[in-house]
Structures are given as C-alpha cells and as structure tokens.
Chain A
C-alpha cells in the first residue's frame, strides 16, 4: 500500500493543519486506499443523510424510480395513499431485484424469481405456494419490503439515512436548509425535475468531485476554452456586469456543508435577462422577477435572480444554481471510480421559452458533453492518476484563503476545508480546528 508508514487509519490524524503557516494538507492516500473507502462506507455513507430523489419525479401514486445510493440499491415509490417511500430494492425471500425498470408506475411489484408480490406500502400481499408456509408466517409485516432506517424530505428533496441513531434531516442540513429554500422558492407552483437524466462517471475518487463542485480557483485555467466560447457568443453576458465586482464568496454551512455565492454574469431563467434572449425573453423574465418580488419581497427576489450558488451538501449532493439549476449526486464505486447522476430542476409550469433557454444553458457549461464538465473530469482523472506518486509526493494543499478567515473570496478553498474537517471528524480523528 502506497502510503506513509505513520498514517494509520484509526489513531492518526488524516489532515494536517498549521494555523501559523496558514497551511491545510490532505493526505493523497485518502483518495486511493481501499481501506479508506471501506471506512467511509461505514462512517459516512452509512451514517449521513443521502439524497435519493425529488418528489416531483414520482408525481402520481404508483410512480417509482430506482437509484443507487450509498452502495445500496434503492427505489422511491409513491404509495396509493400518496406517501413517497423508499425501499431496498431486494426481495425479502432470496434477494433478487424487485423493481427492474429504471422508472415507471405499478400498483404491485412481483419478484421475478419466485413471484413474491408487494404493494406500494411495501406489504407482502401474495406469494405462490402459500401452503408451504404456516398461516401466520407473513403476518405483522415479517416479509414486507425493507426500508432504510430513516426517510425524510425537505422541500421535496428526499433523503435517507441508514443509521437509526442519526439526527433528524433538518438538524443535519444545518445552514444548508436555507439554501435549499432559496432553490425551492424559485417556482411559484413548486419545482420539478425535467425529463432526462445525465448518468456519467469519473475515473476518480468521489471526494475530488465534491471539492471541484465549488472550486472557484480552477475556473480561469481549467475552463479557459469555455470563456473563449462565451466571448465568441453575442449577448450572453448581463449588460451591466462588472467582472471585478462579483461580490460574495465561500462559507461553511455546518456539518461539512458549504456554499459559494456570487453575482451571476449570465442569463438566469429565474430571473436575470441577457440580450441573447431577445425582447420576448425580457418580457417573461420581467414577469418572473415581479412574481418573485411580490411573493418573497424585493430583497429575496434580487438574491434569487442575480446571484449564483454552488451548494455542497455533505457528503454527495451538489446543487448548482447557476445558468441552470442542477441536482447532482455521486456514488463511490471504488477508490478510483465514481458514478454521477444529474438532473435539471425547474419551476413547475415555467414558460416554454424560459424552459428552452434553461436546458440550452445547462448543456452549454454542464453535463458530460458540456463545454466545461469534460475538462473537470479530465482534471480529476489527472489528479487520481498522479496520486500514484506516493509515498514520495504525499499531500494535497487546500490552504488558499486561510490568511483571510473573515473575508473568503469566491476562489478561496474554505468550502473544501469545511468538507475535510467534517470528513476527518466522522472518520474518527480527534483533531478539529477552526478553518
């Protein structure tokens, strides 16, 4: 194993913080070591609240979607009583996958192996050859579908927690809840996930994507070709935008969650107009902005309309409220490989012209064939491959901005430090210092 000999898994500090030098170091073997991932599965993915899906994805009773979450196979199924529920996608008999389509609608699901059948409340309702079992064998839910220890939702974002001792979802979300409110408040009639899922992957450790998702520092170099594209495209910038005054910055939101918030140079379907969208777009954006102001007040409407937010919810949910609105979650498969799934979130009932711009915008920067994400994938894969230079070159540096703790800029690395401190805490290290 390629790691320093003094770096034990249980009794040594993973990260090194030197407040005097304003230095924050993360060991590179945290990205490559199977034993670290095993411990992460136990201490993070089995104890934290994990995102499963959005209630709008299962609008009608019987609707379901299947998901891989935290190394488990789950599905989200709306009951005939209209309650969304989450089940482990496994028959209680011999374990086969019960819900075999990626999404659909069913009043009952039958295991294809021996025909055990469940209703939308997870209840075992039928099985062939019942005479081979005692009368009360299936009583009291003994063989019903199993659910994660805790299932809860916040503003239609559905989460699970596999730990019965976990704190409740709202407490867990801490300062991130307010940012989910900012997102959820954008739709006059609520929010919905649009059709079309982007399922992709990276040959990199999952923590690299968490870091990258709110890393303002890499934009100028890694995404230089995206800025070239913007310069070649007429009317994509807000006319009064001053790139030297984007304001905002990064901050920790507690429990490992973090955000960077800054002024948006580009068009936002909710609700900032750019000349590319023409006069009809201007009219619609104006209407959306006025509706926001009347419902939420001028100040909150301005914040929603003119500011971007990259929201990091520990450990694996990213909501980027930028030129579009993304929900992105990712699962570690092995230390050097992760799977991403991403969706576009939009106000329910959005005007078709704004919906078209929203999706067009999303594809411009984001997604596995956008003008930026493939370069991010490349960067993460370059990091992952180069971590083979251990033990000789063993530490990552994420110190930027530690010399100005009260004035974090958008290209500082406070959001990563916030992640790593929480990660370190959960992974069992005793050390815990202020970022």
Chain B
C-alpha cells in the first residue's frame, strides 16, 4: 500500500465531521475499529492515563456505540431536540504512518448552539487511524480541550 496523502486523511476527517454535524451518530460509531476508543482527558492533564486520572470521556468501543445510540433517542433529553453542531478542522498533520496505521494531529473547533446559547470547544485532536480493506478506521480519538473548564458550556452533550 502506498502512503496516504494529507488530502486523503482530510477527506476522511471531513466525512467524520459531516456525520457528527448531521447527527448520524450510529454511522459515526461505525468509523471505529472493534477495539476503538474515544477519549477526552482532563483539561489540565491532556496526556493523563485513563486508568488513573478522572477523564471527562473514557469510552471503550462498547460505550462509544452506546453513546452514539443514546443520542438517537428522545430520552437523551439534553440533545432532544438536537442542538446545532458544527465541526471545523484545521492544521491537519500526519505525525507518522506505515502500511497499516497512522497517527494524525488536528486542531478543531466545535460549535454547539441551543436555546440562544453558543458554546465553543477549542480542541487539539489526535487520531490513531487503522488502514483496513474497508478504508480508514479510527482506533483512538483523543480530544484535548484548550479551554479552562467547561464554563460556561456546562457539559459536553454532543460528540466532539
């Protein structure tokens, strides 16, 4: 397999962002490998170990699928009706890659609007991607927040 270009990686990330912006959360979950994980470490400890520190999100594959499913239900009250969400992705850098996997760093800004409030999440997102016969898949998505507390956001209810 030839090495992937940044444009090919960007296409994949833009696809992921589009699914999230359209609330196609189950399709988003399908982008993950069977051992995939979705993590948001504590803001002051972006490199922390999920088994020791208190994370904000610490989803293994089972839980990220359930998170995606929950967000399709009316009983996920916080996102019913769904807020407006928009992901903007910048500064995509392929940190390393080989035939089977790559690691990618990005800057992302996620906007969430609901009930006349607009919350902005400034993120440094690092992906570990797997190259499979079905195309790229996410083995790990680690969202490191460059904000000093979820204030005034209050929470992370949509998927970053």
Bound complex: CA of A388 vs CA of B70, how far in Å? 30
Contact B76 A360 (CB under 8 A): no
Chain B's closest residue to A361 (CB) is: B58
Known: A195-B48, A200-B153. A360 touches B42 (CB 8 A): no
Interface residues of B in 68-113 (CB under 8 A from A): 69-70, 73, 75-78
Known: A200-B154, A201-B150, A369-B157. A229 touches B70 (CB 8 A): yes
Is B118 part of the contact surface with A, judged by Cβ < 8 Å?
Answer: no
Chain B's closest residue to A373 (CB) is: B155
Contact B78 A194 (CB under 8 A): no
- A16-57 vs B, CB cutoff 8 Å, 1 = contact: the mask equals 000000000000000000000000000000000000000000
Is B2 part of the contact surface with A, judged by Cβ < 8 Å?
Answer: no
Name 13 extra pairs, CB < 8 A, besides A195-B45, A195-B48, A371-B70.
A200-B150, A200-B154, A203-B152, A225-B70, A228-B73, A229-B70, A232-B66, A359-B52, A359-B55, A363-B54, A368-B56, A368-B150, A377-B154
Contact A195 B52 (CB under 8 A): yes
Contact B73 A374 (CB under 8 A): no
Residues of B within 8 A of A198 (CB): 42, 54, 56, 150
Contact B54 A352 (CB under 8 A): no
Is B4 part of the contact surface with A, judged by Cβ < 8 Å?
Answer: no
Residues of B within 8 A of A202 (CB): 154
Residues of B within 8 A of A224 (CB): 75
Is B63 part of the contact surface with A, judged by Cβ < 8 Å?
Answer: yes
Question: Which one of A83-91, A178-186, A337-345 contacts B?
Answer: A337-345
Bound complex: CA of A203 vs CA of B7, how far in Å? 41
Residues of A within 8 A of B63 (CB): 364
CB distance from A171 to the nearest CB of B (A): 32
CB distance from B34 to the nearest CB of A (A): 16
Bound complex: CA of A385 vs CA of B115, how far in Å? 10
Is B133 part of the contact surface with A, judged by Cβ < 8 Å?
Answer: no
Residues of A within 8 A of B30 (CB): none
Known: A368-B150, A377-B155. A196 touches B51 (CB 8 A): no
Contact A363 B56 (CB under 8 A): yes
Residues of A within 8 A of B75 (CB): 224-225, 228
13 of the cross-chain contacts (CB-CB < 8 Å) are A195-B42, A201-B152, A232-B69, A233-B62, A233-B66, A359-B55, A367-B56, A368-B156, A369-B40, A369-B156, A371-B66, A371-B67, A377-B155
List chain A positions with a Cβ less than 8 A from chain B.
Answer: 102, 194-203, 222, 224-225, 228-229, 232-233, 337, 339, 343-344, 352, 355-356, 359-360, 362-364, 367-369, 371, 373-375, 377-379, 381, 385
Pick from A222, A359, A367, A378: contact of B51, CB below 8 A.
A359
Bound complex: CA of A339 vs CA of B151, how far in Å? 8
Interface residues of B in 104-133 (CB under 8 A from A): 115, 117
Is B50 part of the contact surface with A, judged by Cβ < 8 Å?
Answer: yes
Contact A197 B77 (CB under 8 A): no
Number of inter-chain CB pairs below 8 Å: 127
Contact B150 A359 (CB under 8 A): no
Bound complex: CA of A9 vs CA of B157, how far in Å? 38
Contact B45 A225 (CB under 8 A): no
Pick from A200, A225, A363, A374: contact of B58, CB below 8 A.
A363
Contact B55 A363 (CB under 8 A): yes
Bound complex: CA of A199 vs CA of B69, how far in Å? 26
Residues of A within 8 A of B78 (CB): 374-375, 377-378
Pick from B41, B76, B149: contact of A199, CB below 8 A.
B149
Chain B's closest residue to A229 (CB) is: B66
Pick from B45, B50, B148, B149: contact of A359, CB below 8 A.
B50
Residues of B within 8 A of A364 (CB): 63
CB distance from B50 to the nearest CB of A (A): 7
Contact B42 A196 (CB under 8 A): yes
Contact B54 A362 (CB under 8 A): yes
Contact B153 A194 (CB under 8 A): no
Chain B's closest residue to A224 (CB) is: B75
Residues of B within 8 A of A378 (CB): 77-78, 157
Task: Give the residue among B63, B67, B115, B154 with the most A Cβ atoms within 10 A.
Answer: B154
Contact B44 A197 (CB under 8 A): yes
Interface residues of B in 5-32 (CB under 8 A from A): none
Contact B77 A375 (CB under 8 A): yes
Bound complex: CA of A196 vs CA of B157, how far in Å? 19
CB distance from A52 to the nearest CB of B (A): 18
Known: A359-B58, A363-B55. A225 touches B73 (CB 8 A): yes
Contact A222 B77 (CB under 8 A): yes
Contact B151 A199 (CB under 8 A): yes
CB distance from B116 to the nearest CB of A (A): 10
Pick from B55, B66, B156: contact of A374, CB below 8 A.
B156
